[in-house]
């Protein structure tokens, strides 16, 4: 019985740790003349990083366990308007 309780406790702690780091880190306060995207969704990133919007383009970052001003990209469709400005549509899962 104790083994089952310990096993369930370990699973609960593991799930809490996995869910804790789901936010993008703080977004830098910089301006860019050109945006270059490194990612359009989490699947484009490696080493458990997530895709985050930043002023110079989407970039893979290590998640943080608390909410910041960072914005996570769940899936981005890149389109441009008549002036050539790149527009991003960020969809929540």
Flag whether pLDDT at 16 surpasses 50. no
pLDDT digits (tens, 9 = 90+) for 40-55: 999 999 999 999 999 9
Distances (CA, A) of 92 to 37, 54, 69, 71: 18, 17, 16, 11
Instruction: Kindly state the percentage of the chain with pLDDT values over 70.
Output: 58
pLDDT digits (tens, 9 = 90+) for 53-62: 999 999 999 9
To the question of pTM greater than 0.75 for the whole model, the response is no
Distances (CA, A) of 37 to 10, 57, 69, 77: 38, 5, 19, 11
pLDDT of residue 73: 92
Structure tokens at 1: 């019985």
| Secondary structure (3-state) at 93 | coil
């Amino acid at each position: 019985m104790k083994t089952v309780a310990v096993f369930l406790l370990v699973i609960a702690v593991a799930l809490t740790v996995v869910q804790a780091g789901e936010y993008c880190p703080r977004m830098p306060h910089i301006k860019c003349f050109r945006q270059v995207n490194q990612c359009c969704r989490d699947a484009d990133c490696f080493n458990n990083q997530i895709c985050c919007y930043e002023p110079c383009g989407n970039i893979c970052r290590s998640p943080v366990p608390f909410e910041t001003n960072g914005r996570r990209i769940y899936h981005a469709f890149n389109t441009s308007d008549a002036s050539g400005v790149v527009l991003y549509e960020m969809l929540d899962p």
